[in-house]
């Protein structure tokens, strides 16, 4: 279930990793949180070279949003990519459609 996360574990991730975010990651984190908080329904796109912290940042965002009792789906285009994110799934597994 998408709301079945351990709130203590999520709070620990937020407490530990938000202070570790780089300035750039923090800007993105705050931008996403603001969008979620205000329920604007925005579509935000993050792209950056490999190894620059996208996965790290995404895990913090997932923990923050899930820790608020909200639903954050982590959907990846490959099984390997899905394993990198907590609760990560393929589209067919959580949205019931195939990405081709």
Question: In this structure, are residues 85 and 79 in contact, taking their beta carbons and an 8 Å threshold?
Answer: no
* 19 binding ligand ATP? (CB under 6 A): no
* 89 binding ligand ATP? (CB under 6 A): no
DSSP H or E run through 59: helix 54-67
Pair of tokens at residue 57: 């940042």
Determine the distance from the C-alpha atom of residue 30 to the mean position of all C-alpha atoms in its chain, rounded to a whole number: 13
Question: In this structure, are residues 91 and 81 in contact, taking their beta carbons and an 8 Å threshold?
Answer: no
- Of residues 53, 86, 87, 91, which one binds ligand ATP by CB under 6 A? 53
Is the CB of 21 or the CB of 90 nearer to ligand ATP?
21
Is the CB of 16 or the CB of 99 nearer to ligand ATP?
16
User: What residues line the site for ligand ATP (CB under 6 A)?
Assistant: 20-22, 25, 48, 50-56
């Amino acid at each position: 279930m998408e709301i079945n996360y351990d709130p203590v574990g999520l709070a620990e991730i937020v407490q530990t990793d938000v202070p570790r975010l780089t300035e750039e990651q923090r800007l993105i984190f705050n931008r996403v949180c603001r969008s979620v908080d205000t329920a604007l329904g925005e579509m935000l796109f993050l792209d950056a070279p490999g190894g620059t912290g996208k996965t790290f940042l995404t895990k913090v965002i997932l923990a923050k949003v899930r820790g608020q009792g909200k639903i954050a789906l982590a959907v990846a285009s490959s099984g390997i990519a899905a394993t990198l994110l907590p609760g990560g799934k393929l589209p067919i597994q959580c949205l019931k459609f195939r990405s081709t």
